[in-house]
Structures are given as C-alpha cells and as structure tokens.
Structure 1
Amino acid sequence: MSGTPRRRLLAAAAAAALLLPLAACGDDGGSTPTADSTKPVELSFFWWGGDARAKLTEDALKLYTAKHPNVTFKTTWQANQGYFDKLATLTAGNAAPDIFQIDDNYLTEYAARNVTLDLTSYQKSGKLDTAKFPESLWKYGVVDGKLAGVAFGENTQGLVYNKTKLTAANQPLPTTGMSWEQFISWATAAGTAAKVPGTQDPSADYKAFWVWLRQQGKDLYKGKELGFTAQDVTAWFDLWKGARAAAGTTPPADVIREGNATDITKQLVVTGKALTSWVWVNQLPELQKNTKDELGVMAYPGDPKAQWARASMYFSVYRGSDKKDVAVDVINFLANDPEAGKILGTDRGLPSNLDVRTTVEGTVTDKSMKTSIDVENTLGKTFGPSPQVPLKGHSTLRSELIKAAESVQAGKASSAQAAEAFIAAVKTAISK
C-alpha cells in the first residue's frame, strides 16, 4: 500500500465516512437485485490462495451460475502476501469487492470500519443458513454483536508428532489430556531416548499461549482490552524456561528461532530437529508431504475443552455493495450446497456445514487428511465456547510475542522483563 502512514490513515477514515450513508439503506438489502430475478448481476469476488484453490472456487461459482444464469462473477485472487494491502487499498477507494475472503486477524478491524455487512438479519430470516454449523464456529464471526463474516472452514490447534521416530526409540506417543507438566516430562524422556529434542519450544507461539490462557480461565482478549496480565506472560515464559533447562526437551535457541518461522516446510517436526511442532490440525497433510516419516496429530496439552472451532477463514460481504442480497445468497450456496461442498472439498478447512462435511469426508482418500478430519471431529465433541474475534492489533501481538519469547530464549531478558515489554507494545497496538 503506497503513501505515508498518515495518508493511508486519512484514506481509510474517508472510506469509513463514505460508507456511513450506505447504512441508512439498511443491512437487509433494500431494493437490491436478487438471485432469482432475471436482471443480470455481476459480482466481484476476491480471495487469497494458490492455483488449486482458484480452480476449485471458480468451479463452484460456475455451478452457482448454472443454477442462476443471471449471476456471473468477476474473480480476482492472489497469494496471501500482499492480499490485505490490496484489500485495504480497494476499501480506502470505496471499491471493495462484493464478496471477499478474510481471516480473524483482520475481521474486527474491517467490521469496526463499517466495511463488512452485518449478516444477522439474513441469518435470522434463513437466507443465510447456519443451522448445520457448530454454534461456536459461526459465533466466531460475530464482532460487537454483528455477524461480520461467515466461517468458511473449521480448524483448531494441533500438536503434530513424529510417530516413526518415537516408535523407533520405543517411546509412547503423546496423548490428549496430558497436563503441560506431563507433556514436558514426556518430551524430556522421548527426546533423550530418540536423541532428537522432544518438542519445539512454543513460548513464542500465540496459539499455544492462547490455549494455555483459556485453561487458566482467562483469554487473549476481553472486550476492548487484553484478557491477561504481565504475570501470566511471565508464568508462560517461565514454564518453557524450565523445559529448556532439562536436557533433551527442546532444541537450543537458534533452532527454536528457526522453528518460529511461519513457513510450514520449516517446522521442526519436518526438518527432524524436534519430535513435535505446534500447528493447526489441518496442516498435517502439508507437513506429511515434506517428510518420509509418519506423523500424527492431537490436541495441545491440558484440558481440550479450552480449544474451539476456529474459523480457518471467512467470507464477508461489502457493506457498500448494491448487490448484497445476491452476494449473501452466493455465500449461503457455497457453504450449504452439497455439490458445491464436493467441489471445494477441504481446501479452506473442514466444511462448516456438518452435513456437507460428512459428504466431503466420504470423498477424501489422503491418509493424513483423514487423520486430520478424525481428530477435528473428535475434538469437536469437547470444544468449549469460541472466544471473541481478535482485536485490531492482533498481528502485533503475534509478532511481539515472538520477539519477547526469543529474547528470553537467547538469555537477553528475564521472563518478567520480556513480559512487561510485550504487554506495553500490544496495549499500544490495540489502542490505536
């Protein structure tokens, strides 16, 4: 996104101001065209992903057009990198796509700026059917009481472990329900026996920290504030400082830093530098592609009820669209039509509609994907309520946690010092 930060801020503010009059038309769509009319409608549709996702998405949209010949699509997609810069530019120019893909890092920000259409009235009228969604999944799209996005794929946190190396070392596999202390003890014994560190140190991983917090009765966010204190962060860092002190439990700081890279191909369970890595359940198939060893996946340590049905991503409708009724109908179709579900498969996560999910499961042949689905469905029976969608500034929280944890891992700061610096930086980010 070009221009100075001040110019970008002014552009965003101007865009938000332009959108305010649109709200007077009502979020129910007013006199906008419908999918069942004969009037030609072209919808713009924007998402991130690769070639495979593009083909699947376009094939599903072609199916919609076959059933609604008056509706066609202008599709645009690109890699994840730069996607949100492009979306911000379109929004600032009051030219956002009618339908766009978004994730929980940005949903609150776009909802707060009145970019996303409140879908609540569509949901209540049945025009947007979420009856077959896990309740905690669709609720993870609610921001300040408004349904800002439709969850388009379910996911949850997953601890991936190397079954081949553990079996070769005659070590038991980790099990769901282990306490954090039990898991660390397991990692120490397994790592010593296998001569490979038992686990990647997850102190820099916001997913692991988030689950741990929820097991302490807290959360990442509470209203417009953080849901935890510097003391909580200190305790989290100290937990892993103790783990690092035990030989065989975690890799050294430089290798931990390598594992903190977001590239899935660099996860330590794949590179052979740790027996476990902290990822998302649906990343097991991609990890498996990068190693000849057999991998398994389970919940994070502690009470699995702390995990929830996380929306891997959402589809939102632009509040300024003059074709919002049709846009909502398209999203409803993509989420709930069995034929569309078969086309889209599990590319964006497990289908949100449980009936569609069952249909799609029957078409899956990949062993690791079947494992992911089984684990997700098993955990789904114990999922707790979803947390609130992260606040604006969530990306800063993630990057600052890595920075703070790595300073402790490298011995450059105490747990308490790093925690205080982390809290200060994140509070500044979410208050902007």
Structure 2
Amino acid sequence: MGNNGSVERRTVLKAAGASVAALGLAATTGCGGGGSGAGDGTVTIRYAWWGADERAKRINRSIALFEKKYPKIKVQTDFQDYVAFWEKFQTQAAGGNPPDVFQNAVGFLRKYDKRGILLDLKSQIDAGNLSLKNFRAGVEKVGQVDGKQLGIPVGSNTMSLVVDEKVFEKAGVDPKQGWTWDEYFAALKRIHDTQKVAGDTGYFSIMYLYDLYLRQNGKAFFTEDGLGFDEADLTEWWADGYNRVKAGIITDPKRVEQDKPKSSLSAGHAASEFTWDNFTVRYTAEGDSSYGLAPIPTTDGRQTGQYLASLMLSASAHTKHPEEVARFIDFMVHDPEVGKIMGYDRGILATTEQFDAFQPSDAPSKAIAQYEKDVAAAGVLGAITPHPAGADTVEAAFLRIGGDMSQGTTKVSDAVKQFFSEAKTALSA
C-alpha cells in the first residue's frame, strides 16, 4: 500500500514470485546483526522503506526530529521502489543482515516470522519503550500474529469504490451504504447504456476485493494456514467477471493495459474502480473529472466484509539495538509533528495523536478521512485474517491469472485450476 495505488501494486506483484530465488542468491551476503555503536554511546540503526521521492522527503524530515530528541541514536536510511525494496530485503534477510527497522505489510508477517526475521515487539512494549495506546479503530491488531506483535501500524486504509462523480450523476446513480452487488451491477449497466462508457475497470482480479465478497458470504480469501474458498467459488466469481467484460460493462482489458500507467478510470474509459481508499488521490492528479468514494456493495444489505489494513513498521530479530529501535518506532507512530509531516502518505494516520494533529487541506485527503469515519460509524469493520506465509505470491498469481482470463487467453476453468495449483505451491513452500 503505497503512493501510486493500483499501478504500484500491479508492478510490484509481477516480481512477488521471485522471492525464493532471490533468497537463494544471498548465501554469502551480510554477517548478522544490525546497527552499530560508537565510543561515546551513540548507536546507529538502519531504517529501510519503499516509496517515491516525496515519501523519502517526509520521512527524512521526521527522522531529523527524532535525532534531535534522541541525539544518541542516529538513523541510517535506505529506500527504493516496491520491487527493488523487496528484492534487496530478501537478499539481506537471507544473509542474516536485514535493516534494524523497516516498512512492512500484512502479507509478509508470517512469511518472515517463519524465517526468524521479525522481532516480537511485545518485550519492548512491556518495557515501556513502545506504546500500543491510542491507535484508531483497533488497527494495532493488524500487526498481531500468533500472539506476537510483529508490526506497528503507521497508517490505516480500507477497500473503497472510487467513482467518477460526473458520470454517476449523469446516469442517475447514487450509491448508498448497504447497496447490494445486484444494485451495483445494475448501475454499471445503466452507466454503459446511457453514458456509453464501461462501468468498472475490472474488479475480478483484485484479491482484497474478492476477500470482502467471501467474508460477506461467511468465508475469507485466507485462513491462517491456507485458502478459505474452493474452485467452485472462484469459478463463479471469474465467470461472472468475464461475462461482464464481454458485455462491455467492464473496460476491455487491452484498453486497461494501454492506459497504464494511468488508471482507466482517470483516463475516462470507466466510471469506477475498487482500490484502497488512501490511493484515491491519484485520480485527481491523473484525470479531468471529479472523483469520490462510494460504499462497498454488500450481499445482505449491511455487511461489507471490510477491515482496516495498514502499512507498518517491523523490527529485525537480528538487531543489536532493540530498545533504540522501539523508541524510534514509537516516535514515528505517536509524535504529533511527525503526523503533520507525513500526512496521509502511508494511509490515514494510525494514532489519535497524529490523526488529530494533521488537518488535511486538500479535497481528496478530506474525503478519505471522512470515508474512514463513515465506515467506522456504520459498524461494518471487522478484523483482518492474518495471511499465511506465501500470501504475497498468491496475490501476484491471482492478479496475473485473472488478467489472462479476462483477456480470453485462458479459459475460466483452466485459469481456476492454474491458480489453485500455484497457490498450493506458494503456501506449502
């Protein structure tokens, strides 16, 4: 979950399946432990993250504040784009020399905990070096896996539906909390028939959206140790999506590829797109229309299956400076001035201290904050299911195979079998 929304995530996921190979390259890399110490008691910790230049500028300004408050702790920084970050991290982790503290996401928690890479931060919480107080809507639980605190959220986000407000208004479509999938698909058809534009850019290969649909129906994409649905479930979902592509209600996948790096929504070739709410600032920057956030469709008229996800900070089990790392994480997630600097770059600020300190001035950020308030007030937020090791590779396969299916290069039945085969391999590695 980064700055560029769907574009960044799709780029990243193409490389996700390379993790095992990358780890194999690192047999002689690094020599254990992280950070360093000086004769005067000053220690240096290494902090790595992914993102664009703007995120780096904001983080470096935040680090300057931290080093002013803690002059005996110096922070050495390293950042790349998403793909390069994980390639480098996998090599460092395999060599026993990962960064002391690093940006992380839920799909990687069990993967790297299984390999002994992640520090359980509970000991530092118990020691008073890191606080779990004042997190919004219980988002701190996103970093809790198998009784361990493996990550501390820096921001929160939830799945949303971004709509071209002008097109929806012209078509006479007004989404309300609790609207159903039948109503949503009827709206897409109405938009297609009256406005001569596809209703959606292609919902069926978004793993996190399918997870919401499954949760609405008493299942989930993942259980704690595997997949929570079967081939019949996915066949129905993908066949339905493919039929809507053929009917023109969904943007032609070839057009979606041609529009990149823009979204087909901001390019004017669709009227809506499902994505994480904090990614929505991209559409205003890319497009010429006005864009808003609409509720997730439901099965029963109430439950959306939504939960808060998060970018988070994790620590290395190899660090030589766990106390200093904990103090750094605590500062980065609680300090109000850091909240003002970071804004919603990594999602809606996770703690009340930072959320209250930052007052967004631009319309997209105000809309994102209001959307999360509205979702929380609707009482539909549940708890995210911790992802099993290999979830990142499974997500990449779901996106890739779903895309092939939508273009007609793979039959639905063959695509489903291929996905389950690849998922089984990834989850058993």
TM-score range, shorter chain: 0.7 to 0.9
Corresponding residue for 1:231? Answer: 232
Q: 1:156 to 1:321 in 2, by over 3 A?
A: same
8 Å CA contact 1:111, 1:143 repeated in 2: no
Corresponding residue for 1:283? Answer: 279
Q: 1:7 to 1:200 in 2, by over 3 A?
A: closer
What is the letter of the counterpart of residue 193 of structure 1? T
> Identity rate of aligned residues, in percent?
24
What is the letter of the counterpart of residue 153 of structure 2? A
SS of 2:107's partner is coil
What is the letter of the counterpart of residue 325 of structure 2? A
Q: 1:296 to 1:237 in 2, by over 3 A?
A: same
SS of 1:370's partner is helix
Corresponding residue for 1:210? Answer: 211
Aligned: 1:332 with 2:330: yes
What is the letter of the counterpart of residue 202 of structure 1? Y
Q: 1:73 to 1:277 in 2, by over 3 A?
A: same
What is the letter of the counterpart of residue 88 of structure 2? K
- For the aligned residue pairs, the C-alpha RMSD in angstroms reads 2.8
Corresponding residue for 1:379? Answer: 375
Alignment of 1:393-404 (within 5 A): 393-404=390-401
8 Å CA contact 1:136, 1:385 repeated in 2: no
Q: 1:39 to 1:304 in 2, by over 3 A?
A: farther
Unaligned runs of 5+ in 2: 1-14
Question: C-alpha displacement at 1:139, in angstroms?
Answer: 1.3
8 Å CA contact 2:157, 2:348 repeated in 1: yes
Corresponding residue for 1:184? Answer: 185
Corresponding residue for 1:348? Answer: 346
Question: C-alpha displacement at 1:155, in angstroms?
Answer: 0.7
Q: Deviations over 1:276-318 (max 9, x none)?
A: 112111111111101120001123211454111101x111111
SS of 1:76's partner is strand
8 Å CA contact 1:136, 1:308 repeated in 2: no
What is the letter of the counterpart of residue 310 of structure 1? A
Greater Cα shift, 372-381 or 124-133: 124-133
Aligned length: 406
Corresponding residue for 1:82? Answer: 84
Unaligned runs of 5+ in 1: 23-31
Q: C-alpha distance in 2, partners of 1:105/1:211?
A: 16
What is the letter of the counterpart of residue 345 of structure 2? D
Corresponding residue for 1:40? Answer: 42
Q: 1:243 to 1:175 in 2, by over 3 A?
A: farther
Q: C-alpha distance in 2, partners of 1:135/1:128?
A: 19
Corresponding residue for 2:11? Answer: none
Question: C-alpha displacement at 1:88, in angstroms?
Answer: 1.4
Alignment of 1:240-319 (within 5 A): 240-244=241-245, 246=247, 248-255=248-255, 265-302=261-298, 303-311=302-310, 313-319=311-317
Q: 1:40 to 1:269 in 2, by over 3 A?
A: same
Corresponding residue for 2:132? Answer: 130
Q: C-alpha distance in 2, partners of 1:337/1:43?
A: 19
Aligned: 1:429 with 2:426: yes
8 Å CA contact 1:109, 1:391 repeated in 2: yes
Aligned: 1:408 with 2:405: yes
Instruction: Give 1:320's match in structure 2, choosing from 318, 321, 325.
Output: 318
Q: 1:290 to 1:11 in 2, by over 3 A?
A: closer
Q: 1:299 to 1:127 in 2, by over 3 A?
A: farther
Q: C-alpha distance in 2, partners of 1:214/1:371?
A: 26
What is the letter of the counterpart of residue 252 of structure 1? D
Question: C-alpha displacement at 1:135, in angstroms?
Answer: 5.3
8 Å CA contact 2:49, 2:80 repeated in 1: yes
